[in-house]
Amino acid sequence: MAMTDRELGPGERAALARERRLRNGRTVIVAAILAVVVLLPAAHGLIDGLSGAPHHAPAWMRSAGASAVIAAVIVGGLMQWREHDEVIRRRAINAFAVTGVIGLVGYPLFGVLGLFGAVAQPDTLWAVAVVGGAAAYLYQHWRDNHER
């Protein structure tokens, strides 16, 4: 017979409370980002449409949207960092290292190649660095799961 009527122990109650807190925190973060990034510009556009005098979004609205996205990335990253174990953290650190090395080595290389017109967009380096970091993370994940 299954014991379904037992009371939860203190560890189980703490784990459930922690999970509930994290879920509520994520909900608040998503709602705040939606409010700043989507609802404020939508309200501004609606008012402009009703008044018949379209204007550009004010500078404070653009700054608030950018700040909200940056804050969400930082807070979300810290929340995820606390939830993961040392294996996933090590993979992330290695991926950040690959991204940094590509950026540090690639920047002077792209500068020299740019003098000769061989590189169309200097910002391409950042895309290459991010793709390199993602590839390093995915390779580690694949290697760890296929070694067995």
Indicate whether 3 belongs to any domain. Answer: no
Domain that holds residue 41: 9-83
pLDDT tens, residue by residue, 9-38: 888 888 888 888 877 877 887 788 788 778
What pLDDT digit, counting tens, does each position of 60-89 carry? 877 887 888 888 888 888 888 887 889 889
**Are residues 22 and 68 both part of a single domain?**
yes
Query: Do the beta carbons of residue 134 and residue 95 sit within 8 Å?
Result: yes
Same structural domain, 94 and 76: no
Q: How far apart are CA 27 and CA 75, in angstroms?
A: 13
Residues 55 and 98 reside in one and the same domain: no
Residues 29 and 63 in one domain: yes
Q: pLDDT above 90 covers what percent of the chain? A: 22
Examine the domain organization and report whether 94 and 75 are in the same domain.
no
Within-domain flag for 2? no
107, 112, 117, 118: CA torsion to nearest 10: -70
Q: Write down the pLDDT at residue 98.
A: 97
Domain end position, chosen among 44, 68, 83: 83
Task: Examine the domain organization and report whether 70 and 93 are in the same domain.
Answer: no
Give the pLDDT of residue 133.
Answer: 95
Based on the domain organization, do 127 and 76 belong to the same domain?
no
Asked whether residue 40 falls in the same domain as residue 72, the answer is yes
pTM for the structure as a whole: 0.58
Mark whether 94 and 74 lie in a shared domain. no
Return the ∠ at Cα 97 (arms to 91 and 102), rounded to 5°: 130
Mean pLDDT value of segment 54-59: 76
**Closest of 42, 31, 22 to residue 68, by C-alpha:** 31
